[in-house]
Amino acid sequence: MPEAPPLEVRGLTKRFGSTTAVDELSFAIEPGRITGFLGPNGAGKTTTLRMLLGLVHPSAGQALVRGVPYRKLDDPVRTVGAVLEASSFHPARSGRNHLRVVATAAGIPRERVDATLELVELSDTARRRVRTYSLGMRQRLSVAAALLGDPQLLVLDEPANGLDPEGIRWLRNFLRSFAGGGGTVFISSHVLGEIAQLADEVVIIHKARLVAHEPLAALTARTAGGTIVRSPDANRLREQLAAGGIEATSGEDGELRVAAPPERVGEAAAAAGIVLHELRAESASLEEAFLELTGGDE
């Protein structure tokens, strides 16, 4: 029997009175990948994450971790580590003592506390009271708490919030290393540029429904819908394309931007015996793809 995916939702729906926050959402995440979870404000991202973590009960459908609802996991802390946007800490506790309390409640050995503090680079400030921490330091402490059980799945809601550029670089490198070691990351963020650098694939929801779930490279190529072609005979190629009703604009060094897929461009060039030096699908940025799929909502 095949192993259950690290994270899966099936027909997931949540209604609050007459408002549908999540509407028949279905997708599954493969292990060893970083998946960006994107959507405009109010699209249903936070509600979906809360259902995944057993904090909100679905109106219909299922939210599964390793094939079972979160509340039925035998050892949830060692299965999934989570960081939600609104994390709370006792302000008078030190960072180390906060993690010790969490570890004790979960039955995790205390020596794991210092290991996770080192992982998130808070060892030097572990004795300071949390009320003296910056927002970025609190975010790192939240990540440390999620890592205490050494889980193979991380569910993160806006983990870069409050991080300075160095902190964002640390987070990016850490998550890549985590996924490279076989871990799975499901990360919700409004910082599309960071997701573009980090994610292997994206799940995009809009108005409570799924609008895309595919590899990042495929999404940006698909939404652009055009072709970049370069030829030593670019003028003749442009005329050949125009004769076939295909619009092309000239760039530098014999480059043409063509409003057609690469297959049609290649066929037109071959029919006219035109040599090509480059032929590739034009990619949109993640932001452009996101805005196209969500109608410009952010």
Residue 264 domain-assigned?
yes
pLDDT digit string, tens, across residues 30-60: 999 999 999 999 999 999 999 999 999 999 9
Comparing CA positions, the residue from 59, 67, 147, 135 lying closest to residue 106 is 147
Return the beta strands (E) in 3-43 as ranges: 7-16, 19-29, 34-38
276, 234 contact by CB (below 8 A): no
CATH of the domain at 22: 3.40.50.300
Give the residue with greater pLDDT, 148 vs 261: 148
Per the rule left: phi > 0, alpha: psi between -120 and 50, beta: everything else, 107 is: left
Cα–Cα distance measured from residue 237 to residue 39, given in angstroms and rounded to the nearest whole number: 40
Pair 16, 56 in one domain = yes
Please state, for a pLDDT cut of 90, what percent of the chain lies above it. 71
**Among 182, 207, 232, which residue terminates a domain?**
207
Residue 296 clears pLDDT 80, i.e. is over it:
no
CATH of the domain at 281: 3.30.70
Q: Which residues fall within 8 angstroms of residue 240, CB to CB, at 6 or more apart?
A: 268, 269, 271, 272, 274
Q: Is the pTM of this model over 0.85?
A: no
Residue 49 domain-assigned?
yes
Give the residue with greater pLDDT, 48 vs 250: 48
Domain count of the fold of the chain: 2
Pair 169, 284 in one domain = no
Pair 55, 175 in one domain = yes
**Among 151, 185, 207, which residue terminates a domain?**
207
Give the residue with greater pLDDT, 88 vs 261: 261
Comparing CA positions, the residue from 218, 232, 224 lying closest to residue 269 is 232
Compute the mean pLDDT over every residue in the chain, rounded to the nearest whole number.
91
Pair 48, 88 in one domain = yes
Residue 225 clears pLDDT 80, i.e. is over it:
no
**Among 207, 240, 266, which residue terminates a domain?**
207
